[in-house]
């Protein structure tokens, strides 16, 4: 369906933008071919590399391709908005304004789409700032009040988010001196052979209580079993429908982690919260690592106090982020109270290189300060 939607978007841009341009037929044909190639960026990757998730080309080429594709997407959106505006102006009988839109909008739209794409891609590839969140968790032991937990998610380490970027993320994370680091999936795009050098810096993550992680859907696209082993070699404790206990006696905190919904398609167990909590201390508060925010009500009913998720990338573009709501049970970005549980959906630390753009939705390294009490949050 992904490629079908892009095909329909191309046809719309061809019909409503390229063909009406007041240039020669030759120029329109050339522009139509260029836009066609750009719109089929992901399909070309599949033909060349066997996957659209990890183009193994120089970083500068990924940046140029990303800018071109994001420009195409914005062009489609702006052309559609302009067409709607013209319809409304016609209904309101504002003919002069309608002619103004018709005469000049195509050039303005193309320029704005191109410039916004450049800005958005630039912002997407920066090392994100730290976002501080204070969270109150029911039944949190007083000895753990003030515990500092850092969440990383959706790093999508690839040719675009490469070794130097990863090293800077690690340095910024370690500078927070966290007690615990939790990573909620989609660490990579690419095979272990292609990405080993880029992920190596993750071995430098330091936290007194360790680094705990779960897989996201992208790990399954590139042999999750191999990545599981690779991450554990780098010092991460990988949780797949299981948990670890922080502390001891009456001063315990459970960190549980589940697999991703993509797992069954690759012959591996899907997310199973019941299995993850088997033999967990009954009265201990639970932090759940789940890559996707969906299923939050199920988590809350199971007694989870805090669910950390990612996957949505925050919607990436302010306004268009509302589209992401429909695929993620209305959970797109930030904190949500679900029953007696707090769900936090991070905007992500990195992005999938297939659509790396951020406009009004910054990436984040999220630092939580845990507090005992009712499940509320403050920023």
Q: What does the pLDDT look like over 137-179, one tens digit per residue?
A: 988 998 899 999 999 999 999 999 999 999 999 999 999 999 9
Average pLDDT for 14-32: 92
Cα 147 to Cα 98: distance, rounded to the nearest angstrom: 59
Task: State the pLDDT at residue 376.
Answer: 54
> What percent of the chain shows pLDDT beyond 70?
95
DSSP letter for 17, please.
I
Q: Residue 330 above 90 pLDDT?
A: no
Cα 245 to Cα 281: distance, rounded to the nearest angstrom: 8
- Per-domain residue ranges for the chain? 2-124, 130-378
Cα 333 to Cα 313: distance, rounded to the nearest angstrom: 8
Helix pair 59-91, 41-49: axis angle to 10 deg: 150
Q: What does the pLDDT look like over 54-85, one tens digit per residue?
A: 999 999 999 999 999 999 999 999 999 888 87
Q: Residue 277 above 80 pLDDT?
A: yes
CB contact at 8 A, 54 and 158: yes
Locus of tokens 């010092």: 235
Average pLDDT for 298-322: 93
Q: Residue 343 above 80 pLDDT?
A: yes
CB contact at 8 A, 359 and 115: no
Cα 291 to Cα 312: distance, rounded to the nearest angstrom: 9
Q: Which of 89, 1, 13 is nearest to 42 (CA)?
A: 1
> What percent of the chain shows pLDDT beyond 90?
81
Q: How far is CA 226 from CA 190, 339, 367, in A?
A: 11, 37, 29
Task: State the pLDDT at residue 378.
Answer: 44
Cα 163 to Cα 199: distance, rounded to the nearest angstrom: 7
Neighbours of 26 (CB within 10 A): 8
CB contact at 8 A, 309 and 331: yes
Helix pair 25-39, 41-49: axis angle to 10 deg: 60
Average pLDDT for 321-341: 86
Average pLDDT for 253-280: 97
Q: How confident is the model at residue 94 (pLDDT cuts 50, 70, 90)?
A: low
Give how far the C-alpha of residue 80 lies from the chain's centroid of Cα atoms, to the nearest Å.
26
Q: What does the pLDDT look like over 111-144, one tens digit per residue?
A: 999 999 999 999 999 999 999 999 999 889 988 9
Tokens of residue 296, six digits: 């939050």
Task: State the pLDDT at residue 379.
Answer: 39
Task: State the pLDDT at residue 21.
Answer: 87
Q: Residue 91 above 80 pLDDT?
A: no
Q: Residue 312 above 50 pLDDT?
A: yes
Could you tell me the pTM of the whole model?
A: 0.93
Class of the CATH domain delimited by 130-378: alpha beta
DSSP assignment of 192-241: HHHHHHHHGGGGG---TT-EEEE--HHHHHT-HHHHHHHHHHTTEEE-SS
The strands making up 286-289's β-sheet, listed across from edge to edge, are 242-248, 251-257, 286-289, 306-309, 341-345, 334-338
Task: State the pLDDT at residue 320.
Answer: 78
Average pLDDT for 21-39: 94
Tokens of residue 358, six digits: 């951020």
Cα 158 to Cα 81: distance, rounded to the nearest angstrom: 34
Cα 356 to Cα 109: distance, rounded to the nearest angstrom: 20
Cα 131 to Cα 118: distance, rounded to the nearest angstrom: 25
Cα 49 to Cα 219: distance, rounded to the nearest angstrom: 17
């Amino acid at each position: 369906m992904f490629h079908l939607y892009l095909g329909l978007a191309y046809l719309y841009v061809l019909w409503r933008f390229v063909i009406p341009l007041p240039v020669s037929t030759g120029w329109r044909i050339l522009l139509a071919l260029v836009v066609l190639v750009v719109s089929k960026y992901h399909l070309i990757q599949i033909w060349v590399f066997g996957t659209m998730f990890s183009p193994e080309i120089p970083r500068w080429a990924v940046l140029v391709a990303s800018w071109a594709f994001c420009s195409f997407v914005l062009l489609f959106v702006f052309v559609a908005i302009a067409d709607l505006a013209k319809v409304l102006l016609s209904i309101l009988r504002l003919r002069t304004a309608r002619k103004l839109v018709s005469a000049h909008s195509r050039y303005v739209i193309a320029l704005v789409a191109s410039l916004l794409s450049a800005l958005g891609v630039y912002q997407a590839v920066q090392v994100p700032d730290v976002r501080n969140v204070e969270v109150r968790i029911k039944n949190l032991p007083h000895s753990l009040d003030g515990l500092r937990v850092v969440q990383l998610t959706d790093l999508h380490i690839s040719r675009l988010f490469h070794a130097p970027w990863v090293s800077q993320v690690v340095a910024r994370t370690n500078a927070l001196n966290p007690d615990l680091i939790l990573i909620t999936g989609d660490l990579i795009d690419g095979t272990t052979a292609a990405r080993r050098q880029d992920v190596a810096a993750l071995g430098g993550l330091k936290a007194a209580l360790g680094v705990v992680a779960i897989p996201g859907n992208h790990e399954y696209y590139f042999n999750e079993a191999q990545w599981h082993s690779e991450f554990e070699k780098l010092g991460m404790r990988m949780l797949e429908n299981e948990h670890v206990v922080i502390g001891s006696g009456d001063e315990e905190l459970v960190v549980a982690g589940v697999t991703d919904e993509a797992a069954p398609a690759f012959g591996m167990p899907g997310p199973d919260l019941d299995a993850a909590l088997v033999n967990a201390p009954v009265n201990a508060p639970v932090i759940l690592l789940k890559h996707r925010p969906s299923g939050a009500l199920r988590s809350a009913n199971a007694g989870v106090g805090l669910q950390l998720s990612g996957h949505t990338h925050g919607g990436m573009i302010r306004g268009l982020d509302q589209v992401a709501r429909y695929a993620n049970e209305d959970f797109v970005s930030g904190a949500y109270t679900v029953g007696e549980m707090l769900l936090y959906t991070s905007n992500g630390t990195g992005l999938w290189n297939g659509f790396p753009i951020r406009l009004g939705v910054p990436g984040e390294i999220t630092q939580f300060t845990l507090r005992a009490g009712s499940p509320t949050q403050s920023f």
